[in-house]
Amino acid sequence: MDAAFITDWIDEITRLVAGEREHLTALDAAIGDADHGANLDRGFAAVRAALSARPPGTPGDALVLLGGTLIRKVGGASGPLYGTFFRQAGKSLGDSPEVSPAELAAALTDGLAAVRALGSAEQGDKTMVDALTPAVRALEQALQDGAGRRKAFDAAARAAEEGARATVPLRARKGRASYLGERSMGHLDPGAASSALIMRALHISASG
């Protein structure tokens, strides 16, 4: 997979986020401040502009550009967290012009570790970590079991979707939703929902 593959992934995330903007905002209205859809939509639009202005030469460059732009352009918790996820993944890939699915999986695992270090959220705290953790684990496992990249990315997306759904009954322990205490229960976490979109976009971009 080359820089163009990562750019396709980013474009697919941008499309899904734009389509789900109102839904993400409604989820955030229930347990946050109703800006998650707008935050990500604005961030990914800025990423699209940055990619056009300075087309990346390697997958690592593309992910570092994505991460850096989200950190700069998205106010709110999700900007620095997603920004860190992608930027760390990009740094882990280094400057190879082509990367394998296993290398991308290892880089995303590093990205997730950086998110956990920054936000100090554990699985079960009702955040994006609840979707990203099973996704990255399923991706690593599927590849180890010999799956091709399309099947492995599908497994990752399914695991993220399941992890997101599993946030519904939980009580939030990190981020804005944690201020609601028990009233955060019974709602899907917006960041977990957007993480599922990010992983589904990876599967779609490998299927096109």
- Closer CB to ligand ADP, 63 or 81, in the complex: 81
* Contact yes or no for 22/194 (Cβ under 8 A): no
Provide, rounded to whole angstroms, the least separation between the CB of residue 190 and ligand ADP.
Answer: 4
- Closer CB to ligand ADP, 3 or 160, in the complex: 160
Residue closest to ligand ADP (Cβ): 191
Q: Exposure of 150 by Cβ count < 10 A (0-12 exposed, 13-18 middle, 19+ buried)?
A: middle
Under the criterion CB under 5 A, does residue 33 sit at the interface with Mg ion? yes
- Closer CB to Mg ion, 29 or 102, in the complex: 29
Between CA 119 and CA 128 the distance in angstroms is 10
Under the criterion CB under 5 A, does residue 28 sit at the interface with Mg ion? yes
Provide, rounded to whole angstroms, the least separation between the CB of residue 18 and ligand ADP.
Answer: 15
Q: Which one of Mg ion, ligand ADP, none is in contact with 119 (Cβ closer than 5 to 8 A by kind)?
A: ligand ADP
Which residues are CB-neighbours of 91 under 8 A, at least 6 positions away? 60, 64, 110
Residues at the contact surface with ligand ADP, assessed by CB under 6 A: 28, 32-33, 35-36, 39, 76-78, 81, 119, 121, 127-129, 174-176, 189-192
Provide, rounded to whole angstroms, the least separation between the CB of residue 120 and ligand ADP.
Answer: 6
The secondary structure of 64-133 as a DSSP string is HHHHHHHHHH--STHHHHHHHHHHHHHHHHTT-SS--HHHHHHHHHHHHHHHHHHH-PPTTSSSTHHHHH
